[in-house]
Amino acid sequence: MCSNNIEQKECVSWRALHDLRLVSVAPDEDEFALLSAARTGDIQKLRKVLTSHGTPRNLMKTDADGWTALHEASYYGQVECVALLLTAAPEMINALTCKRQTPLILAVSRKQFQCVELLLDKGADPGIPTVTNETPLYEACARRGAEIACLLLRNGADVHQKCLDGWVALHEAVSQNHLELCEILVEHGTKINTRNIYGVTPLFLAAQCGHLEPLCFLLALGADVNSEATDGTTPLYEACRNRHTAVAQLLLSHSADANKAGKDGLLPLHLAAKHGDHGLLSKLIPITNASAILCSGASPLHLSAESGEDEALELLIHAGFDINFLLASGRSCMYEDRRRSALYFAVDNRNPEAASMLLNAGANPNLDPFNVLLLAVRQGDVHMARLLLEHGADVNAALPTHPSMYPACVMLSTRNITMMKCLMDHGCDAEACFRCEHTAEELSAHTGVETGTQRRLQFCEMISARAVCHCAGPVINLLLDYSSGVKLCSTLWGLLDSDKTWTHIRDKAGSCLPRQKMAAAQVSVPSLATSSPDTEDYSIYANMSEAQILQLAIERSLADANTQQICSCSPRPMAQHLHPQQSQNVAPYANPPANPPANPPANPTANPPANIDSTNQSSRINRDAQNHCFSKNKQEVIAWTRHNGFLRVKVESIRDLDPFLSAIWNGDANALSLIIQNKSKKFLEANQEGWLPLHETAYYGHTDCLKILLSAAPETINRRTLRNQTPLLLAVSRRQLECVHYLLEKGADPNLANQQWETPLYKGKYVPDMNKYILACEKGTKEVVSLLIRYGAITSKASVQGSTPLHEAVSNKNVEICKILLKAKANMTAKNIYGIDPLFTAAQCGASEVLTYLIMKGADANTYANDGASALFEASKNGHTEVVEILLSNRADVNKSNKAGLLPIHVAAKNGHDEIVAMLIPRTSKVKIRHCGISPLHIATERNKDDIVEMLIGAGFDVNFMLSDDWSKMYEDHRSTALYCAVCNNNLDVASMLLEAGANPNLDTFNPLLVAVRKSCIEMVKLLVNHGANINSILPTHLTDFPAALIFCLNNLPMFKYLMDNGCDALSCFKCDYGSKTHPPIKSNSDRRDGLYYISSEGSNICLQFCEMISKPSVSSWAGPIIDILLDYVGHMKLCSRLIENLDSYSEWANIKEKASM
């Protein structure tokens, strides 16, 4: 496409390519003169070109998209030019562009009626489709052009012609909610039950979109109300799924089948229950078959309980639905806990009202595999637990996945004494907690909390776990109160001995074991560290890796264990179980916290574990150890592995260590050479991770040993571990430059990747010491990268996620490595599976220096990811001001939105990046913002970004900009204006700024004044009233005969009086249809909850009267003072019988009744 600038001296042309616009500017004489004249409507220039030499050749000239002059003239509506061109070359009339677009369809797409009429008169074919099989008639329906559609149909357009998806023009007319087009198409013979490739009929589409007018029209013509799509879904199901209540009710009135399930097996009744649609439920309940519900495998009770729709749940219970209906196994397995009952959903949502309704109706609390009582106990909800126990929940229920010798609820309430006492009061078996299978001879093995799959966990084992052992004293004390004649096992004695403050508990239990045996059962001991947690210098851990901190923790723990002489029979434990949390919870080594915790895991002396597993004392350290270190005096080696969530630590004298293993770990080349000369084959044996000795020597950087092993077995140079790691990959991971160089010289392949397809040029994610290791491009050295590339490493090889080494170098902001990679022909435009290229990565992480370099090398500043977010959008979101400035200076498109429809200015305003917003304001198109459907003012106001709101108002952004329907529907209250957001946030400053800038307080469906009154914010109410808020506004969803604001301030008399002082209509409060006649009885609230006002859920059109509202039990006690205030503003007024009845209820209000009759 092209357009001329104002002076007509240059031609700006652009074309779309992968959702980007390629723009070029050229002098007009360089542009095709014929196309230019047709485009601009310059009839004189066009005649001159047509009469010049070589006209036949120029007349059929096309641009890059295949557009001729006739296409240009038709698209831009230049009728005279179209007529002239057709006179000169009538054969052009049906010429096709590269996308098979005719001049006719281009004219239709721009609703150029005169051009369409002229083309049809000259014989244009209205049946020629585009590459997507869309005809001019289909395009007219898509553009809502009824007049053009009539014109096309009169000239022979086929109403039955389908596009690629099988849609006909009627489908498109229905989707546009255009009744007139539907009528026109039906008049010309279109089939009302035609289907697209998904089996969707126009009626189905109308129900799906919630378009009532086309739906009524199609139903009147006899369209099939139960037409199914190819996946079995019906129009009624789609209407219920999309919450189109009116549509669903209309379909039901035309005998729609309520017992036809959707592709997920659910019925319309299920969806209505899920959404809490009270009116629709009332219609569906009597016509839904119980057998259909049984076949679905779920009850509507489940869905209403899961979504927290209490009113729908109550309605279903009253309708007699089975309270104990269990989910089918196929549905139950969709939940990790295999829940079955509706009661489980209510307990999981912590909804006591729903749980109470279900239990009172007869719900059995013991039907689920994971008992609902255990769920309440785990949540710490004592009220819910007591409710379940009162209705028969099994207090001694077990966990099916973790069998134990004691009630499972004890395990889940160890840290909640209040909960545990409640359980004990309701019959929990306390004595089961003191049963222990271990005898005195088995005490040496009775220390670990790790259990096998064939035995049940004992209480003493559970309470010994590090996470709860500090609670052992109070828990045992409480259990003893509910037990008699019990004996404590050695483990429990050891726990009570570990804390001097628990002496009275030990005395209460009585001594049952010889004191010399108790030491063998201890599982935790106080720390004897010389430095307390309060004086520990945490800065020393800042630059340590996780593995180094773990090693330090193990060394200190072993030292403390020796100091305290935990085990008298063994001065040095051979194996220990350590919790891995000691290393996992340390501060990240790149960014240590400014204020470390009081007891960081890096301080191993705080409660060091000393769980001695004597069964492993005979085991020897072998190559299966995931990591090791040597003691300071080099006399002992400490090795550890992870197993079932624990660290298994072994300590062995260096003299007892296997000679081959000692040579490998110490890098003793001479000893290794002697072992190999003795024809030992150990160097070819792999450990359980698939590591050969060659892998270990490469990993630890023992170059001399590496040379010996390669000489003995050169074929192992590219051997892989079980995780596909080569010796070269492991050497690079530890930046062992000498080993890397030697391996490459000997022919190691630099392009062999691990399981994640990560090569040595990339980063890996696993090594045996569980530490994230660094490969060449993740904080890598320039020397290693250069070396790998020199030996043939491929720079474009991507990982499983699609990222290349260049991505990693950019993410680490390493310009030098980026230069090396690009010099080696790295692909600068390569994208990962999320559509992110290196420049996008630089913008995302704020690497301004790298970004500048990439742009200099030709990277596209307008790159975008799969979700439509551009590099500028991402930089604006993350607050990278310098990056945004660089991108803007390189013509990044500020008007490119992501798939959610947001621009960079929206996301910058949302996150409060003032400087970025200031840069984006003058460059952002307000037309584009209108197309987005949401203003940055809305987002800044909603997030309370006051400074940005002030900046946007100062820049002239429309304070009365209203959210589009799509955005508005995302809010339950369907808000529209920024002012509404400010009032909802109680933000007086922003509301004041908006109102002073001209915001209209009466644009929203639910008036902002009503929100302010409901929040009892008198300052906000005064502000809105002073700026013209409608004080007599009503609730459009719940009609009343009096101002709706009064509903929200019945218990706030100062607010009530202020509204009256400012013109609230008091007279309407005394209007009553019954007058002095008897009023009908007050309807009770179906959910048994007293509200400030009553809103009928039946969708009645009858307006609520003030006398009905004031008579509700929750507000009737205020009736006298309220009527008294109202009478001050209306004078003499005859009261209806209901108001007199209210005044008669209190003798003190007699003077108010007299006041009315005066």
Residue 158 CB contacts under 8 Å (≥ 6 apart), including other chains: 127, 135, 137
Over residues 30-46, the mean pLDDT reads 78
What pLDDT, on a 0 to 100 scale, did the predictor assign at position 228? 92
Look at residues 843, 836, 839, 854 and name the one whose alpha carbon lies nearest to residue 799.
836
Query: Mean of the pLDDT values across residues 108-134?
Result: 92
Look-up of token digits 């506004």: 1033
Two structure tokens written together for 49: 């070109």
Residue 13 DSSP SS3: strand
Q: Please determine, for residue 592, whether its predicted confidence score (pLDDT) is greater than 80.
A: no
Q: How confident is the model at residue 455 (pLDDT cuts 50, 70, 90)?
A: low
For residue range 507-539, list pLDDT tens digits in order.
Answer: 777 643 333 333 333 333 333 333 333 334 444
Over residues 206-238, the pLDDT tens digits come to: 999 999 999 999 999 999 999 999 888 999 999
What DSSP state is assigned to residue 1079?
A: P
* Residue whose entry in the numeric block shows the structure tokens 């092993």: 709
Distance (Å, rounded) from C-alpha 1069 to C-alpha 1065? Answer: 8
The tens digit of pLDDT for each residue in 761-804 reads 775 333 333 333 334 454 446 778 888 888 888 888 888 788 88
Query: With bands split at pLDDT 50, 70 and 90, how would you rate the model's confidence at 18?
Result: very low
Tell me the per-residue pLDDT of 457-508, one tens digit each, with 9 for 90 and over: 888 988 888 888 888 889 998 998 888 778 888 888 888 888 888 888 887 7
User: Quick check: 843 pLDDT over 90?
Assistant: yes
| Alpha carbon distance 664, 668 (integer Å) | 7
Residue 447 has pLDDT above 60, yes or no: no
Q: CA–CA separation, 502 vs 376, rounded Å?
A: 30
Cβ-in-10-Å burial (0-12, 13-18, 19+) of 1039 comes to middle
How do residues 900-957 score in pLDDT, each as one tens digit? 889 999 999 999 999 999 999 999 998 899 889 999 999 999 999 999 999 999 999 9
Residues 807-829 as b/e (b if ≥16 CB within 10 A, e otherwise) read bbbbbbbbbebbbbbbebebebe
Flag whether pLDDT at 603 surpasses 70.
no
Residue in the structure block whose two tokens are 């009609």: 1039
What type of residue is 36?
S
All residues at 6 or more sequence positions from 28 whose CB lies less than 8 Å from its CB, including other chains = 4, 8, 9, 10, 11, 36
The model's pLDDT over 257-306, given as tens digits with 9 standing for 90+, comes to 999 998 889 999 999 999 998 889 999 999 999 899 999 999 999 999 99
Q: What pLDDT score was predicted for residue 1040?
A: 86
Domains of the chain: 193-289 (1.25.40.20), 626-655 (no CATH), 658-756 (1.25.40.20), 933-1030 (1.25.40.20), 1040-1084+1098-1157 (no CATH)
> 325-352 pLDDT, tens per residue?
999 988 888 888 889 999 999 999 999 9
Q: Torsion angle, CA of 335/338/343/344, rounded to 10 degrees?
A: -70
The span from the CA of 1069 to the CA of 1049, in Å, is 14
Residue 646 has pLDDT above 80, yes or no: no
pTM of the model: 0.48
Average pLDDT over every residue of 368-389: 93
Residue with tokens 């409640």: 422
- 3, β-bridge pairs: 12
pLDDT digits (tens, 9 = 90+) for 692-717: 888 888 888 888 888 888 888 888 88
User: What pLDDT score does 667 carry?
Assistant: 82
What is the residue whose two structure tokens read 């057709």?
86
Amino acid 588: pLDDT:
34
Residue 638: φ, ψ to 5°: -115, 125
Could you report the per-residue pLDDT of 868-881, keeping only the tens digit for each? 899 999 999 999 99
> What pLDDT is attached to residue 466?
81
- Considering all CA atoms of the chain, what is the largest pairwise distance in Å, rounded to the nearest integer? 123
Q: Using 50, 70 and 90 to split pLDDT, how confident is the model at 579? A: very low
